[in-house]
């Protein structure tokens, strides 16, 4: 079931902030009312596709921040593993230099509440708990507005890296619609024409494109 148009599930978990500091009780709630949030899940520290995405978010961090957006990464690794990865140089397979928060979802409850855990728990014939699938988060991204409502979500399978520029475009589209009351058509980008959500508005837009 989609979380879009629903309140984002809250969490209180350890996170590494500023690249070198552990905050034991990092919450999503602290941003409600004052910041948009791009919350992204990735499978695992010390892997291959994940650092390309993590650095891609870091490279665009100033653009997100200029739009009032807090970027937050989450995986099922521990905060100690996050810290070790952050302390490892880029040329040694690490992510040194990343400054936005990385949350430790060791209990896997955050991923489960967001519906992005790569499998599910069940029971075998003997009544023992088993896990079917992969016990890590899929590559999921959520755009959460200032009211704490999920406005966009995407979920990729493990081999499929995401497009960070698309997330910036979606932030721009959301902020435009909030400010202007218009809707954003296909392939809309900041600075381009939007349209009113009426038959006349759609007809006028299509006639001019």
Known catalytic residues?
50
CA distances from 101 to 16, 19, 82, 143 (A): 6, 8, 10, 16
Closest among 23, 34, 22, 156 to 84, alpha carbons compared: 22
Element (H, E) at 175: helix 164-180
> Which structure tokens are listed for 100?
């936005």
Cβ(142)–Cβ(8) below 8 Å:
yes
Handedness of CA 175, 162, 108, 133 (dihedral sign): positive
Question: In this structure, what token pair is assigned to residue 145?
Answer: 């507005």
Strand 36-41 with 69-75, pairing: parallel
Paired tokens of 104: 């430790």
What does the alpha-carbon distance between residue 5 and residue 2 come to, in Å, rounded to a whole number? Answer: 8
Which position has the token pair 């200029």?
66
């Amino acid at each position: 079931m989609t979380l879009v148009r629903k309140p984002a599930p809250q969490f209180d978990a350890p996170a590494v902030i500023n690249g070198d500091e552990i905050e034991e009780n990092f919450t999503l709630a602290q941003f409600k009312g004052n910041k948009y949030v791009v919350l992204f899940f990735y499978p695992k520290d010390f892997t291959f596709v994940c650092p390309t995405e993590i650095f891609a978010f870091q490279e665009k961090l100033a653009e997100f921040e200029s739009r009032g957006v807090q970027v937050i990464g989450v995986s099922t690794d521990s905060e100690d593993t996050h810290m070790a990865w952050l302390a490892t140089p880029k040329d040694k397979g690490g992510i040194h230099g990343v400054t936005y928060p990385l949350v430790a979802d060791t209990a896997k409850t955050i991923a489960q509440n967001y519906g992005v855990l790569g499998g599910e728990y069940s029971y075998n014939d003997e009544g023992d708990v088993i896990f079917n699938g992969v016990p890590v988060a899929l590559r999921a991204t959520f755009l959460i507005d200032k009211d704490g409502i999920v406005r966009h979500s995407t979920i990729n399978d493990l081999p499929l890296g995401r497009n960070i520029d698309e997330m910036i475009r979606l932030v721009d589209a959301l902020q435009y619609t909030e400010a202007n009351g218009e809707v954003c058509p296909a392939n809309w980008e900041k600075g381009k024409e939007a349209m009113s959500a009426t038959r006349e508005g759609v007809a006028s837009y299509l006639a001019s494109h």
